[in-house]
Amino acid sequence: MTDEHATRIRTMIVDDQDDIRSLMRMLIELDSEVMEVSCEAASAVEALAIIDACDPRVIVLDEMMPGMSGVEAAAAIRARRPDQLLILCTAYLDSDVAARAREAGIAVSVHKDQVRTLPGLIRRLAAA
C-alpha cells in the first residue's frame, strides 16, 4: 500500500438506489484527491457483510432501505466497530429520525437535498 493510499479517506456508501450511490460517488471522488469511495452496498445487510474487508473510515447511510434502516444499521455497525464514523443522508430527515440517529452513534444527519455537502462533511468528520 502506498503512502498516498494510506492517507486517503476511504468511504462506504450504503443506499438502495443505484443512481443515488453513483451521484454520491461522483461528488465525493471529484471533490478531493484525498477521498475515495472504497465500496458500496445496496442494503444494510450487504454493508455489514463487506464492512471489514472494505474498512472504510466514513460510512454514508440512507435511512429508508429494505430489511434494515440506516439507523438500525448504524447501531449494528457501532456494536462491531465502536469508532466507526457515520453520516446519515436521507430524504426522510425530521427531528425524530435525527434524534434516533444521534442515539445510534451517527455523527451527522443531512437531508438528500443537501447531498452536495457530503464531501465537506466527510472531510470534517474524518479530521475531527
Identify the pLDDT of residue 31: 81
Judged against a pLDDT cut of 70, whether residue 6 lies above it is answered with no
Which pTM value belongs to this model? 0.91
DSSP 26-41: HHHHHH-TTEEEEEEE
Domains of the chain, residue spans: 3-127
**What is the overall mean pLDDT for the chain?**
91
Identify the pLDDT of residue 17: 95
Judged against a pLDDT cut of 90, whether residue 33 lies above it is answered with no
Judged against a pLDDT cut of 80, whether residue 105 lies above it is answered with yes
Q: Sort 18 into a burial class: Cβ within 10 Å, 0-12 / 13-18 / 19+.
A: exposed
Alpha carbons 81 and 89: distance in angstroms, whole number: 20
Please identify, in words, the CATH class of the domain defined by 3-127. alpha beta
Identify the pLDDT of residue 5: 47
Q: CA dist 56 to 40, 41, 95, 99, 107, Å?
A: 10, 12, 27, 24, 15
Question: 34-89: per-residue pLDDT in tens?
Answer: 899 999 999 999 999 999 999 999 999 999 999 999 999 999 999 999 999 999 99
